[in-house]
Amino acid sequence: MTEEDYLQIALDAARKSFSEARDIGHVSDVLMCPRQKVFENLDDNKPLISDKKLANFTAGKAIHSVLQSFYTNNKRRFDREKWVEYNDIVGHVDIYDKRNNVPIEFKTYTGEYPRTKPLAYNEEQLK
CATH number of 6-126: 3.90.320.10
Q: What is the DSSP track for 44-70?
A: TTPPPPPHHHHHHHHHHHHHHHHHHHH
Where do the domains of the chain lie? 6-126
Question: Cα(86)–Cα(108) distance, rounded to whole angstroms?
Answer: 25
pLDDT at 1 over 60: no
What percent of the chain is predicted at pLDDT more than 70? 73
What pTM was estimated for this model as a whole? 0.65
- Interval 26-52 mean pLDDT: 68
25: DSSP letter:
T
Give residue 14's Cα distance to chain centre: 13
Residue 18: Cβ within 10 Å count: 14
